[in-house]
Amino acid sequence: MTAKSDLLGRDAVNPHEEWLMRHSEALKSTRKTRFETSSGIEINPVYSPWDLEKMGWSYQSDVGFPGEEPWTRGFSACGYRQRLWDIEMYAGFGSAEDANKRYRYLLENGSTGGVSIALDLPTQIGLDPDHPLASDEVGQIGVSLMSFEDIKVMFDGIPLEKAGHVFTTGNCIGPLAAAWFLALAEERGEYPGCFTLQVQNDPIKEYIARGTQFLPIEASVKLATDMLQYVSENVPQWLPISISGSHMKQAGASTVQEAAFTVCNGIAYVEACLAKGMKIDDFGDRIELHFCTEMDFFEEVAKYRAVRKIWTRLVRERFGGTTRKAQMFRLHAATSGRPLTAQQPLNNVSRITLQALEQILGGCEQTRTASFDEALGIPTELAARTSIRINQIIGHETGIPDTVDPLGGSYFVEALTKQFENQIREVVAEVDALGGALAAAKSGWFQRQLAKGAYREQCRIESGEQIVVGVNAFRSDEPPPEQTFRVDPSAAARQLAKLNALRERRDKVRHTAALARLREDCAAGVNVMPAMIEAVRARATVGEIGALWREVFGEYRPQSERF
């Protein structure tokens, strides 16, 4: 049968439509009524050149070649043929001594992405371990760092140059985190540019999703961009900001929203920098955009390809970037802990493998990989090592990295990339109309979008519409796994003892003077970094600096909301 018109007598205009008509009966017998990506984009039964034609797609303007505008196929011409992606393992717990042991273990076992430091909550929120709100949480979900003394212990026996890349979150304490490592390089007599310090330093998404904010949002953005400015001017090898979509997605954003909200927050930081008199041509390549990779395979690949295109175009068209350097942001991907299940935890090895593959096929140069026991607690050494091996297997056994952007030209992936680009732009325009990211965060607009998404997904899982293997389908009666990591319970007491000893031992005159200067500079509105570095040298603690900021800038207060 070769039908060339549909039941209404409309003529098929191309071979794709002819095919749809020829197989219209067969195409009706599907296992779902609608196929869609996790963001709700409808998926067709098959894609062909005519889908791209209909979208006005062109190879040169939409895709181009690797290492060239519009950067869809990647920032480097040689891709993973030059070098494989960096394998970065995020870790940290207990005291600086405990964390030091884990970092050495990871470096010895093939982690090529340097040292990636998880901070405990008191450190992130600017509280010392003896603060009444902090006492139960010291060293629990990350390492407790109180002062410069802890930074020295944490890097004992780890040469900065060998670590190569040091990452930490420090979203609302960005200037302090940078000052710690400037002081460490200074004390070791090394040039700080001999390694790359990277601080997430993205407070806006804390107010939206991650929750370590403790100052008014404007003050947090001011501090974050002070650090960004100081670092880009003084240690251009460092990466002073990693604008993160990952946490918003894990809190309920769709993949389109994850990408779009990150771009919106990025616009807010760049605008704050431009207002300080900075030029995008000088710091564009110091910006990282960070996302997390979940289970919808092609959507994630499309996201990474679309984001490269969108951000670089914004840099050119909205911020007046003229150089290649201005556009070369760093694209970072991490497999998401959220799809990992506590039930049948070994299934997570396969989830992590697929996610790792998605971010590699999306062309991300730097990737982080979660561990299969993350739904149960801090990863064990076995689980962390297995994640390193997943990357090595993809890198060395599969041939996947041997050509650049191997999914480029897939009709489906190209169509999805274009659809992603269009949808992200629409959301950015919507947030612009709300007054930008800060206004949308303050009014709770972002937060409501995330809560809606999270509730929708939970309802879909409970109704069985969305299947999570081992959770709402294919369950088995297994005893819960025994091997979960436990933080040494003495860590908090050890930190308290060290804190008290430090307060006795440090040079009190220098300490008082340094804090007085920091207070003056904060109040005067000048860049806080020079005073922050001196405060760190004088052994000011995270709690003292947090308290000083709260006094000068005011404190974030939670607000009750009625559902």
Partner 1 sequence: MTTNDTFTQPLRVVMTKVGLDGHDRGVKVIAQAFRDEGMEVIYAGLRRTPDEIADIVSQEDADILGLSILSGAVVPLTRRVVQALAAREIEDVLVIVGGIVSDEAREELRGIGVEGVFGPGASLAEIIRFVNENAPDRSMPA
Judged by the rule CB under 8 A, the positions of this chain that interact with partner 1 are: 121-122, 125, 127, 132-134, 136-137, 140-141, 206, 210-213, 250-252, 341-343, 375-377, 450-451, 454-455, 458-459, 462, 471, 480, 484, 487, 558-563
| Shortest reach from residue 251's CB to partner 1, in Å | 5
Nearer to partner 1, 277 or 558 (CB): 558
Sorted by sequence, the CB contacts under 8 Å of residue 3 that are 6+ apart come out as: 12, 18, 21, 22
| Shortest reach from residue 219's CB to partner 1, in Å | 17
- Tally of CA atoms within 13 A in the half-sphere of 407 that contains its CB: 24
Report whether 413 contacts 62 (CB < 8 A): no
| Shortest reach from residue 452's CB to partner 1, in Å | 8
Distance set, CA 232 to CA 75, 160, 200 (Å): 21, 19, 14
Nearer to partner 1, 342 or 407 (CB): 342
Calculate the CA dihedral of residues 405, 410, 416, 419 and round it to 10 degrees. Answer: 90
Beta-carbon count within 10 A of 264 CB: 26
Nearer to partner 1, 208 or 499 (CB): 208
Q: How far apart are CA 140 and CA 492, in angstroms?
A: 9
Nearer to partner 1, 72 or 449 (CB): 449
Report whether 335 contacts 359 (CB < 8 A): yes
Give Cα 180 to chain centroid, integer Å. Answer: 22
Beta bridge partners of 2: none
| Shortest reach from residue 247's CB to partner 1, in Å | 9
Q: In what order do the strands lie in the sheet with 86-88?
A: 86-88, 366-368, 330-335, 287-293, 241-244
| Shortest reach from residue 379's CB to partner 1, in Å | 14
| Shortest reach from residue 391's CB to partner 1, in Å | 26
Nearer to partner 1, 408 or 543 (CB): 543
Helix ranges restricted to H, 445-541: 445-463, 491-505, 508-524, 529-537
| Shortest reach from residue 446's CB to partner 1, in Å | 13
146 sits in which H/E element: none
Q: How far apart are CA 336 and CA 353, in angstroms?
A: 11
Beta-carbon count within 10 A of 324 CB: 15
| Shortest reach from residue 450's CB to partner 1, in Å | 7
Sorted by sequence, the CB contacts under 8 Å of residue 124 that are 6+ apart come out as: 142, 169, 170, 171, 172, 173, 212
Nearer to partner 1, 184 or 219 (CB): 219
| DSSP helix/strand/coil, 29 | coil
The encoded tokens of residue 192 equal 């700080």
| Shortest reach from residue 418's CB to partner 1, in Å | 30
Nearer to partner 1, 29 or 563 (CB): 563
The encoded tokens of residue 169 equal 């979150």
Nearer to partner 1, 459 or 467 (CB): 459
Nearer to partner 1, 276 or 448 (CB): 448
Q: Strands 165-168, 115-117: parallel, antiparallel or unpaired by DSSP?
A: parallel
The encoded tokens of residue 1 equal 């049968």
Nearer to partner 1, 113 or 122 (CB): 122
Distance set, CA 414 to CA 175, 314, 456, 473 (Å): 41, 21, 28, 33
Amino acid, res. 319: F
Nearer to partner 1, 194 or 451 (CB): 451
Q: Can you say whether residue 487 is alpha, beta or left, with left for phi > 0 and alpha for psi between -120 and 50 degrees?
A: beta
| Shortest reach from residue 378's CB to partner 1, in Å | 9
- Token pair 């005011």: residue: 554
| Shortest reach from residue 343's CB to partner 1, in Å | 6
